[in-house]
Amino acid sequence: MLIRELLHSACLRLGKAGIEDPDRDVALLLGHCLEKSRTALYLMGDESISKELEKHFLSLLQRREQREPLAYILGVQEFWSLDFLVSPDVLIPRPETELLVERAIKVWRESSQPPGRILDLCCGSGVIAIVLAKELGRKVLAIDLSMKAIMSARENARRHGVSHLVDFLQSDLLSALAPVPCFSLVVSNPPYVSQQELADGLQPEVDRYEPHLALNGGDKGLEIIKRIDEELRQRMLPGADLFMEIGADQGGDILSLFADEKKFTKRFTQLIIEKDYAEHDRIFHAKLEIE
């Protein structure tokens, strides 16, 4: 079969399966098989491919037809213009998280930070920790409950040359750490999808394939975030910054949660909710008060 014929028939199949951008996905899958760019594929349209390569491509196409995420099929996802290894053991990095990292780096560079460590809490594939280490040249501690996620993140740290800057710890949030102030910057993309949203069903790619452990935030999606609030205050240095990715409808609840000082001797100040590219609540920024 000619490449242009293969592209056309494959696009029709993915379109019928409900894939949002079938042209893009087909080009990436076939380009992966042939080790060619999207532009090169179209220039090669009148060429044919071997039966073996066609069979391999069609097997990948079938997986995408069944709504398996493209990143899991290819085994990589671009983040911060870098390729990160991903598998069903970790969430697929998304553009909203790039915005979170970008904001944290900007504030770090523009302000006087206390001399503590940097923490990536709920690190998943390690994209946050690795980008922070590369951009800031500082040691980062990356924590996750899942050992499979830790193993994936370690491999990504090796892949991007920052193994010497990123330490990994398997822990249920901060339970493995003594309640001693040591962090000057905390960046977290915790589970924040509500149990109701999970019960109602998410996009098939997410619902069927991505790890629910990294998605399920419990009641209103706030249970893990509440625990972070309770465990983090004693472990942050005065003046330290917290950046957290949140759900699109959680801004008000999170401001109320972190503004509640009744149970705590340390309080957060400068509580800010920032929008993402779609004008949804997405980034929570708070600073621990300076004593």
28, 61, 73, 231, 266 from 57: Cα distances, Å = 10, 6, 11, 48, 56
CATH match for 77-288 among 3.40.50.2300, 3.40.50.150, 3.40.1830.10, 3.30.300.130: 3.40.50.150
Round to whole Å and give the CA distance between 210 and 248.
Answer: 19
190 marked ligand binding residue: yes
Contact 116, 237 (CB under 8 A): yes
Q: What pLDDT digit, counting tens, does each position of 124-151 carry?
A: 999 999 999 999 999 999 999 999 999 9
Q: Exposure string (b/e) for 263-278, b if CB count within 10 Å is 16 or more? A: eeeeebeebebeebee
Q: Are 181 and 232 in contact (CB under 8 A)?
A: no
Residue 197: burial class (beta carbons within 10 Å; 0-12, 13-18, 19+)? middle
| Residue 27 CA to its chain's centroid (Å) | 24
Q: Is 211 annotated as a binding residue?
A: no
Q: Is 238 annotated as a binding residue?
A: no
Where do the domains of the chain lie?
3-66, 77-288
Q: What would the pLDDT profile of 98-115 be if each residue is shown by its tens digit? A: 999 999 999 999 887 668
Provide the CA 203 distance to its chain's centre, in angstroms. Answer: 17
Would the annotation count 192 as a binding residue? Answer: yes
Residue-wise pLDDT tens digits, 178-216: 999 999 999 999 999 999 999 988 999 999 999 999 999
Tell me which of 245 and 266 has the higher pLDDT: 245
> CB–CB of 215/191 below 8 Å?
yes
SS3 state of residue 118: strand
Task: Encode pLDDT of 47-98 as tens digits.
Answer: 999 999 999 999 999 999 999 999 999 999 999 999 999 999 999 999 999 9
Q: Is 189 marked as a binding-site residue?
A: yes
**Rounded Cα gap, residues 169 and 121, in angstroms:** 10
Q: Rounded to 5 degrees, what angle do the CA atoms 255, 173, 132 make?
A: 80
